[in-house]
Structure 1
Amino acid sequence: MPSGGTRLSIDLTSSAIAATVDRDGTRIPVLLNGRIVMPHGIVIDPAGQLHPGVNGLPEPSVGHQFIRDPVDLLHAADAEPPVDAVQLLAGQLWYIADQAVRQVAVPVAALTVTIPSAWGPRRRGHLTDAAARAGLPAPAMVTAPAALAAYATAGHVPDGTCLLICDAERRPITLTVLQASLDGYQELATRQVSPSRDLDRDLAQHLLTRSIADDPPQRTEKEATPEPADAALLESIRQARTALSTQARAPVLLPSPRPPAVLTRDDVTAAAQPLLDDAANAVQGILDAADIGQQHLSGVIHREARAIPGLQERLVAVTGHTPIALDGHSHALADGALALTAAHQQTTSTANDTALPRVRLRVRDLTSAIILGVCSLTVLLQTILTADIVTTYSVQVVGVRLSLPQLGVAGALTMLTAFAVAHLAPTTWLAGTTDAATSRPTTGHLIRRGYLAAAVGGSTAAALYGLATGTAVQFGYEPYLKWTLGSALPLAVCAAIIAATAPRIAAPQLSYWLARTRPAALPAAIATTGICLMRAAITLTPPVDLTGMPGLIGSAGAALLGIATALTTSRSRTTRTITVPGLAIGYAIVFTSDTSSALLVGYLVALTWWAVQLAAYTLRLAYPGTGQALRRLAGSSHTA
C-alpha cells in the first residue's frame, strides 16, 4: 500500500454497499451513516441535492426522485438518460469516502472498487470519471468473483488451478470459473442460472394460490385470480426465509384482505427444485465452456444471503468439492479486493521520485519564518538587557542574574525558525524562473537537504546565542551554552530524523505532511508576548501589584504563556478548548518570581513535544507497517 496512506475499498456489486479501509495494515469496516452496510438507493431532492443510502421514499413527495441503484444506469450513461448516472455515482463515492475519512481521520490515498465481471471499457471509464468528480484517486477495479476468491482463499491457490464461484447473494445466481495466476485471477467463463426465475416470486405465487384455495366457495372471480407479488409481499417472504434458518415455520403477510400465511421449509424446498435443476445443468455447462473437468478444480466458493435449500448439496454432487460458504460476510468482497490490489498499490511513488510543483519565493511565504525569528531575537535581547550584572570596582564581573530558562526558549525558537525555513524548501524557488528543460531535484532530495540544513543551522544559531550572551554579560559561556544549545538539540535531532525518513513518504501523502510540518507562528508570538510581560513584571522597580500577585502585567503574561503551551502541545480542537482556559488560569494563579522559571521550562517541554510528534508522524508515514509490527510483537510477548 502507499506509505502512510489509507486504502479504501468499496463493494458496489452486493445487495448492499460495503466499504473497508486499510490503514497501516489494519482493516477497518466503514460505518456508513452508522450502519455496517448501506442501501444503493439515492434520493434527489427538488434543489438537486443527493441523499445516498436510502431504500426509497417513505411517502410520495413532489419534486423528489428516487434512484434504486445508480450503477444500473451506467450502461446508458452515454445516451443522455433523464439523470446523470456518472454524477449520481460520484455523489455516492464521495459520501462513502467522506464517512471513511471521518472515521479514520486520514485522507484516502488509494481507491479500490469491486465491479461486475460483465463491465467493459465503457462502464469502467464511467467509474473512473465518477471517482475523479468525487475528488478521489483513479480506482483499481476488481471483479466480484475475483474478490470473493481472494477473500475465501487468502491467496493460497496454486498457480494454474481453477476455482468455481457460485454467487447467489443477488438474483440471478451467477457462476464463474477463475484460473489462478501470478497476477491474480483470469476469468475463463461466466454464466447466469435462470435469469427469469425468482425464488421469492415463485413462493409468493404459491402462497397466494394456496390462500385462494382456502377461501370460501363464495369468493369472487377477481379474488380467485392470484395478483402479482408486490414489493411488501416479497420483502415479507425474504424475512420469512431468513427466519427459516433457525425455525421450521415463519409467517408471511399477504395483501389485504387475505389473512397471513405460513411459510415452511418444505415450501421453500419444493419451490427451489426447478432452480436447483437449472443450477446443476449450468455448473456442468460452465465447466464445459471453460474447457475444464472436475480434476482441474481446486475448490468451490459459494455465497448467498438467504439460504436456498439443497444448493450446496447440488454443487457437491456436480463438482465433487465441498463449497467454502461465505454466508453473512458483508465485507467479503471489499476485503478480498483490498488483498488483490495491495501488491499493485505498493508501487506508489514516494517523495524520492516525485517533484512537486514549485513557485517563486515571495515575502508572504516567509511570514512564519520572519515572525519566529523576531520572537527568538526578542526573547534573547530581553534576557540580556534585563540581566542583573554584579561587578567589583566597576571592572570585574563577579556574578550575573538572568533567566536561563528564558535563554533556553530563545534557543528553541531559533530551531523553530529553522523548521519554518526548511518547510519552504520542497515547494519554492529562491530566485529565477523554472526551466522545464533542466531536470528538477526531487521533493525527497529537497526535504533531505532542507531539514539537514535546519538541524545544523538551527543548532549553530543556538550556540551563537549562548556565546553572544556570555560576551554581552562578560561572565563566561558555559552556563548559557548549556541552555541555548541544550534546548535546541532535541529539536535538531527531530529535524535530522525527518530529513532521513521523510523522502520515503508516498507522493499522495506529501501535501498532508507539508501542511502538518508548518510551524505555527501564532502560538510562538503569544508565548513571546507572555514571556516579555512576565520578565517585565519581575524586573520592574517598584513591581506592579494590582492583584495581590507579583503584578497584573505578570499574571497576564503567564496566562498568555499558558495559552501558547496548550496550543503547541495539541492539534485537537476539543483538547484545546479544554486545556487553553485551564492552563491560562492556572499559570496566572501560580505565577511568581520563583515559579516563572518552571513555567518557562513547561513551554520548552511543549516545543520539544511538538518536534517529537512531528518526527513520529513522519516515521508513521514513511514506515506504515512498523507500528503494527511492534504492536503484534508486544502482544505476543505479553502472551508469552
Structure 2
Amino acid sequence: MPSGGTRLSIDLSSSAIAATVSHHGTRMPILIDGRLTMPTGIAITPTGQLYVGLDTTAAKSLPADHRFVDNPTTLLGKPAHVTNTAPPDPVDLLAAILRHVNHHAAHQVGQPVTELTVTIPPGWGPRRRGHLAEAASRAGLPSPALVTAPAALAAHAATLGHTPPEGSCLLVCQADRHPPTLTVLQTVSGGYRELATHHLDGIPDLDHLITHRLVHTATADTDPLRTAITQPAQDNAANRLALLESVRTARQLLIDQDRAPILLPASRQPTVITRDDIATAAQPLLDQIPHAVHQLLDAADIDTPHLAAVVLRPADALPALTDQLTHATNRPPALIDHPHALADGALTLTAAHQPAPRAGAARLPRVRLRVSDLTGALLIGASSLTLLLQAVLTADITTVNTWVVGARTSLPQLGTAGALAMLTALAVAHLAPTTWLAGTPSASTPEPTTGNLIRRGYLAAAVGGAITAALYGLATGTAVHFDYSPYLKWTLGAALPLTVCATLIAATAPRIPADALPTWLALTRPAITYALIAAGGIFLMRAALTLTTPIQTNNTAGVAGSLGAALLGAAAALTASRSRLIRAITAPGLAIGYALVFSYDTSGALIVGYLIALTWWGAQLTAHTLRLAFPLDRTILRRLIDNHHIQGDRPPHA
C-alpha cells in the first residue's frame, strides 16, 4: 500500500453491512449513519432516487409508490422478472451502498480511499464477481480485492490466536445468515484454499422457523394468523413483517437475557420466548448439522482428525448450535461474533499480500528546526565536555626536572566523556527525519525520503561522534603533556560500541515499515535526563575524590561522593531497561549499592558499570531496528524445524 494510503474493507456476506478502514497502520471501524453496522435494504422512489441502509421496520413506513429491496446482493446474477415497471439494476443498487459506505469512511479518516477489499459469500463465480467490480467502478472506488467469508473468518480467528499449522484444515460455519454455510479450508502460504462448501438449504430461515412455532403455540387453532404465516398473501405482508421484526429483536435480547417479549399483531396478547424456545424452533436446522458435516468432510476428502480447528460465527441466542458442531467434529469451535470480524479478517488477509511501505519510500511530516529542539543534544554535549575538562584539570601529573613522567586521572571518566559525545551525535541524528535544517523543498530540490534522512543522519553521527571521541583522547594527552595512547583507547573505545550501533541503524533503518516509524523514532530518542543524571553523579564522585586523600578526609566531600555514586547507580538502572517495573525495582537498589561501595578504588568500576548500561541501551535499540527491518518469517522457520525433525527420524543408511 502506498505511503499514506487508506484501505477500506466492506463485508457484504453478513446479514448487515460492516466496514473497517486501515489508515497509516491503524485500523478503525466505520460508523455508517452513526451505526456500527448498516442494514442492507434500499428504498427506490418513483423517480429512481435511492435511500440505502433501511431495515424491514423502516420499510413499513415507506409510501405505497416506493419499492423496497431487502438485499441487492441476492439479485446479482439472476434474470430480471417481467413486470409492469422496469426492474431495478442490482449493480446500481450495490454501487449506491458502496458509495454510501465510502463517503462515511473518507469523512471519518479525512482522506480518500485508495484500496478496497470486499468480503463476499462463498460460491460467487466470475459473473457476480464481475458485477461487484462494476459496482465499485460506478461508485468511484478502485477495483476491489475479493475475499470469501470463510477465509475472512479464518483470518480473523488467526489474529485471536487460533492459528492452525500450514497445510492443516479447518471448518468454518457461518450461521448468522440464510442459508447457513459450512466450509472446509486448508491453510496455504499466505492464505487459505477452499476444499468444499455446503449450504444448509431446504429449511426456512431461522426467524421464520421461530415465528412459525411461536404462532402455533401462542394462538388458537382458528386464529387466521396461522394461515397468514403458512400461506402468506399480500394483504398479510404487514403483519408478517412486523412479527418477523419482533422475533429478530427478541433474539438480540436473548443474547444477554433469559426471556424476551414478542408483540403479536392486532389485539392479541404479547407472549414471551426463552432460549429453549429458540433451540426447539431451530431443531430442523440443528438436526442437519451432523449429516452436513459428514457430507462436507467427504466432499473435501478429509476425516475428522484432519481438522485442526473449527470456527463458528453463531446465530443469535442459539448455543445448541455450538454443542452440535462440537459433537459432530469432536472439537469445540472458536466463536467469532464481533460485527466487524469479517471486514477485519479480509483486511488482514489482503494486507498480507501487499508489500508493506518502507521508510525508504515514506515521507514523515517535518517541522522547522528550532533552538529548543537542540536543547537536549546541547545539554549532553555540555556534560561530555565538562567531564573531559574535569578529568584533565584534576589529573595528578608527576614531573622530574620539568619532564612529565606520569599522569593519573580517571580513565573511565574520560571514556564516559567519549561515550556522551557519541550520544550527542545520536541525539542530533534523531532530529534529522522530523525537522528542516533550512527552507522548504522546491521542484529542483525535492524533499528526501525519511529513509534517506535516517541513513544520512546516523552515518554522520557515527563518523562525527567517533572523530570527537578520538579528539578527546588526543586533547587529553596534549593537555597533560603525556602519552595519549591510554586516553585515546578509553575515549574511542567507550564510543566505539555506539558507533557500531549507529552504523547498523543507518544501514537497516530505511527498511523499517513506514507505519512503525513513529514508534521507532520515539524509541531512538536518547534518554537525555538519565545521561545528565549520570554525568552529574560522575562529576560529584570525581570532585569528592580530588578533595580527599587516604590520610585526610572531608565529611562534606564524602557525602557528595556517595550522592554522586547513588545518582550514577540510578542512571545505570534507568538506562539499561525500558520496563517501568524493572526500573522501579533496580534503580533504588543500584543507587543504594553504588553509594555504599563508593571509594577511591571502586569509583572506576562504578563508572564502567554505567558504560555497560549505555552500551546495552544501544544494543537493544539496534536489535529492535533489525527486527523491524528483517522480520522473522515464522513459516520458513517452521519448515526448517520440520525438515530437521524429518531428517532426524530417518533411519541411517546402510
**TM-score bracket for this pair, using the shorter chain length:** 0.5 to 0.7
Following superposition, the deviation at residue 508 of structure 1 comes to: 2.7
Indicate how the Cα distance of structure 1 residues 483 and 18 shifts in structure 2: closer, same or farther if over 3 A, else same: farther
- In structure 1, the residue matched to 2:186 is none
- In structure 1, the residue matched to 2:233 is none
Q: Out of 445, 452, 457, which is 2:452 matched to?
A: 445
Q: Out of 314, 317, 328, which is 1:305 matched to?
A: 314
TM-score, normalization by structure 1: 0.61
- In structure 1, the residue matched to 2:412 is 405
Q: Out of 568, 592, 600, which is 2:607 matched to?
A: 600
- CA contact 2:459–2:506 (8 Å) conserved in 1: yes
Amino acid at match of 1:600: I
- How far apart are the structure 1 equivalents of 2:582 and 2:12? 38
1:47-86 maps to which residues of 2 (within 5 A)?
Answer: 69-72=36-39
- Give the alignment's Cα RMSD to 1 decimal: 5.9
- In structure 2, the residue matched to 1:209 is 216
1:490-529 maps to which residues of 2 (within 5 A)?
Answer: 490-529=497-536
- In structure 1, the residue matched to 2:364 is 356
Q: Which fold has the larger relative contact order, with Cα–Cα distance below 8 Å and residues 6 or more apart in sequence?
A: 1
- In structure 1, the residue matched to 2:397 is 389
- How far apart are the structure 1 equivalents of 2:41 and 2:533? 56
Per-residue displacement from partner, 1:26-81 (whole Å, max 9, x unpaired)? xxxx9x9xxxxxxx999xxxxxxxxxxxxxxxxxxxxxxx98754349989x9899
- How far apart are the structure 1 equivalents of 2:153 and 2:444? 51
- How far apart are the structure 2 equivalents of 1:371 and 1:302? 57
- How far apart are the structure 2 equivalents of 1:337 and 1:124? 16
- CA contact 1:451–1:498 (8 Å) conserved in 2: yes
Please give the secondary structure, in 2, of the residue aligned with 1:349: coil
1:161-180 maps to which residues of 2 (within 5 A)?
Answer: 168-173=174-179
- CA contact 2:311–2:335 (8 Å) conserved in 1: no
- CA contact 1:147–1:333 (8 Å) conserved in 2: no
Amino acid at match of 1:545: N
- CA contact 1:304–1:327 (8 Å) conserved in 2: no
Q: Out of 135, 139, 142, which is 2:118 matched to?
A: 142
Indicate how the Cα distance of structure 1 residues 252 and 605 shifts in structure 2: closer, same or farther if over 3 A, else same: same
Please give the secondary structure, in 1, of the residue aligned with 2:555: coil
2:437 counterpart of 1:430: yes
- In structure 2, the residue matched to 1:368 is 376
- How far apart are the structure 2 equivalents of 1:359 and 1:68? 38
Please give the secondary structure, in 2, of the residue aligned with 1:398: strand
Q: What is the count of residue pairs matched by the alignment?
A: 496
- How far apart are the structure 2 equivalents of 1:308 and 1:118? 36
Indicate how the Cα distance of structure 1 residues 268 and 447 shifts in structure 2: closer, same or farther if over 3 A, else same: closer
Following superposition, the deviation at residue 516 of structure 1 comes to: 2.0
Following superposition, the deviation at residue 525 of structure 1 comes to: 1.2
Please give the secondary structure, in 1, of the residue aligned with 2:483: coil
Indicate how the Cα distance of structure 1 residues 469 and 399 shifts in structure 2: closer, same or farther if over 3 A, else same: same
Indicate how the Cα distance of structure 1 residues 176 and 480 shifts in structure 2: closer, same or farther if over 3 A, else same: same
- How far apart are the structure 1 equivalents of 2:19 and 2:414? 53
- In structure 1, the residue matched to 2:553 is 543
Amino acid at match of 2:149: L
1:254-273 maps to which residues of 2 (within 5 A)?
Answer: 268-269=282-283
Q: Out of 117, 123, 134, which is 2:100 matched to?
A: 123
Structure 2: unaligned runs, 5 residues or longer: 44-49, 55-92, 122-146, 156-170, 184-189, 193-198, 222-239, 263-268, 293-298, 302-309, 322-328, 649-654
Per-residue displacement from partner, 1:276-317 (whole Å, max 9, x unpaired)? 9xxx9xxxxxxxxxxxxxxxx999x9976258999xxxxxxx
TM-score, normalization by structure 2: 0.60
- In structure 1, the residue matched to 2:161 is none
- CA contact 1:200–1:238 (8 Å) conserved in 2: no
- In structure 1, the residue matched to 2:61 is none
- How far apart are the structure 2 equivalents of 1:535 and 1:16? 72
- In structure 1, the residue matched to 2:296 is none
Following superposition, the deviation at residue 458 of structure 1 comes to: 1.1
- How far apart are the structure 2 equivalents of 1:628 and 1:590? 51
Following superposition, the deviation at residue 411 of structure 1 comes to: 0.9
Amino acid at match of 2:364: L
- How far apart are the structure 1 equivalents of 2:94 and 2:598? 71
- How far apart are the structure 2 equivalents of 1:551 and 1:456? 40
Per-residue displacement from partner, 1:94-140 (whole Å, max 9, x unpaired)? xxxxxxxxxxxxxxxxxxxxxx988743233135236516x999775
- How far apart are the structure 2 equivalents of 1:136 and 1:561? 52
Following superposition, the deviation at residue 543 of structure 1 comes to: 3.5
- CA contact 2:462–2:499 (8 Å) conserved in 1: yes
Indicate how the Cα distance of structure 1 residues 197 and 81 shifts in structure 2: closer, same or farther if over 3 A, else same: closer
1:1-12 maps to which residues of 2 (within 5 A)?
Answer: none
Following superposition, the deviation at residue 500 of structure 1 comes to: 0.5
Per-residue displacement from partner, 1:139-163 (whole Å, max 9, x unpaired)? 7533143243535899xxxxxxxxx
- How far apart are the structure 2 equivalents of 1:552 and 1:470? 31
Percentage of pairs with the same residue: 51
- CA contact 1:562–1:584 (8 Å) conserved in 2: yes
Amino acid at match of 1:353: A
- How far apart are the structure 1 equivalents of 2:97 and 2:469? 63
- How far apart are the structure 1 equivalents of 2:480 and 2:535? 22
Indicate how the Cα distance of structure 1 residues 388 and 521 shifts in structure 2: closer, same or farther if over 3 A, else same: same
Q: Out of 590, 594, 597, which is 1:587 matched to?
A: 594
2:568 counterpart of 1:561: yes
Indicate how the Cα distance of structure 1 residues 19 and 630 shifts in structure 2: closer, same or farther if over 3 A, else same: farther
Following superposition, the deviation at residue 496 of structure 1 comes to: 0.6
- How far apart are the structure 2 equivalents of 1:144 and 1:121? 13
- In structure 2, the residue matched to 1:132 is 109
- In structure 1, the residue matched to 2:386 is 378
Please give the secondary structure, in 2, of the residue aligned with 1:142: strand
Indicate how the Cα distance of structure 1 residues 344 and 407 shifts in structure 2: closer, same or farther if over 3 A, else same: same
Indicate how the Cα distance of structure 1 residues 333 and 456 shifts in structure 2: closer, same or farther if over 3 A, else same: same
- CA contact 1:2–1:506 (8 Å) conserved in 2: no
Following superposition, the deviation at residue 365 of structure 1 comes to: 2.1
- CA contact 1:360–1:431 (8 Å) conserved in 2: yes
Amino acid at match of 1:142: V
Indicate how the Cα distance of structure 1 residues 528 and 437 shifts in structure 2: closer, same or farther if over 3 A, else same: same
2:487 counterpart of 1:480: yes
Indicate how the Cα distance of structure 1 residues 599 and 329 shifts in structure 2: closer, same or farther if over 3 A, else same: same
Indicate how the Cα distance of structure 1 residues 69 and 427 shifts in structure 2: closer, same or farther if over 3 A, else same: closer
- How far apart are the structure 2 equivalents of 1:167 and 1:118? 28
Please give the secondary structure, in 1, of the residue aligned with 2:406: strand
Please give the secondary structure, in 1, of the residue aligned with 2:578: coil
Indicate how the Cα distance of structure 1 residues 207 and 484 shifts in structure 2: closer, same or farther if over 3 A, else same: same
Please give the secondary structure, in 2, of the residue aligned with 1:556: helix
Indicate how the Cα distance of structure 1 residues 605 and 152 shifts in structure 2: closer, same or farther if over 3 A, else same: same
